Structure 1
Amino acid sequence: MMHNAPSTLEQLLVEHALAQVLTRYATACDTRDWALLDQVFTADCTTVYGGSYICQDIDKVRHMISSHLDGCGPTQHLLGNLQVDASNPQAVRSKIQVRAAHKGLHERSGTRYDAIGFYKDEWLLQPQGWRIHKRSMSLLLEIGDRSVLQPAAKP
């Protein structure tokens, strides 16, 4: 649970910085710019997506996400209602709601899949800025056909 600390300039700066990283995450997913994930996660991050996709480092996170989106049509990852707990600068946490819309590709072009839920993240401040060290995604609602999530077709 995020607790509501009084807004201070430092709190606002942290919230803004985290929001920028989360925007980079959505951009990486929607543009398939997998190198951009290096500006989102720590090298030794741990992520759990939907309770079943567990990854132990940035390369595994990159592979897991790309294997779901590279064979998918257009996507839009919308993030909002960011809550940040920066009361302990050594253990900054956040929660943000997500709605990820996915359209099928080729023979699945008439199919759609939406994932609705939230990310809970634990952050580390590194020399190059804030990075997600631990992520947990909880799904609240799935709409459509998950089969639109695919790796890229082999040539």
Structure 2
Amino acid sequence: MAPNPLDYITIQNTLSRYCIALDTKDFNLLKQVFTEDCDTVYPFGGQIKGVQKVADAIQNRLKPITSQHALTTQHIEIAADGKTASATTYFTGIHFGQGKWKGQEVTAWGKYMDQLVLQEGQAGGVPGSSGQWLVSKREVAFMGRLGEEGVMDGE
């Protein structure tokens, strides 16, 4: 069975929602990105399990800065059963210093390597899609960082 083409857009929306959650500091939105029992690996925190622990770790990490995250190159594969998918997405994250770091920034380039699962029966936000797609596993890898790392530490 061929994947529903609208599921690709739904997956893109899920992954975009992550960036919006981080940049607006609306960490409750992460419940619309990750499964409740997600398993993640971040360069700044190692392995983190569970959506609330992921939200808490990211909130703590981003507390001293403002940010803009942008997604670029992306490859999505939906499994033949139409219930799981994998996505590799490149990102650029610019982190703007506050307080004594105002006017300085650090930019990170990297990739999100995700496994997603279809939540059938949940609205995906795209009419005609199979349902909502959520990230069950994520690994974040940096390809490079440039700028003043101190901005991440705050005052």
Closer, same or farther: CA 140–148 of 1 in aligned 2, 3 Å: same
Deviates more, 1:84-93 or 1:142-151: 142-151
Aligned pairs, number: 143
Q: Structure 2 residue aligned with 1:71, among 55, 64, 67? A: 64
TM-score under structure 2 length normalisation: 0.85
Separation in 1 of the partners of 2:11 and 2:70?
15
Q: Structure 1 residue aligned with 2:76, among 67, 78, 84? A: 84
Q: Structure 1 residue aligned with 2:22, among 29, 39, 42? A: 29
Larger % of strand: which? 2
Do structure 1's residue 124 and structure 2's residue 129 form an aligned pair? no
Compute the displacement of 1:50 (Å): 2.4
Query: CA RMSD for the aligned pairs?
Result: 1.8
Gaps spanning 5+ residues in structure 2: where?
123-131
> Aligned letter for 2:71?
L
> Aligned letter for 1:67?
N
* Identity of matched residues, %: 29
Separation in 2 of the partners of 1:135 and 1:51?
14
Separation in 2 of the partners of 1:51 and 1:68?
8
Do structure 1's residue 97 and structure 2's residue 100 form an aligned pair? no
Separation in 2 of the partners of 1:33 and 1:48?
21
Compute the displacement of 1:110 (Å): 2.5
Separation in 2 of the partners of 1:130 and 1:96?
15
Do structure 1's residue 13 and structure 2's residue 44 form an aligned pair? no
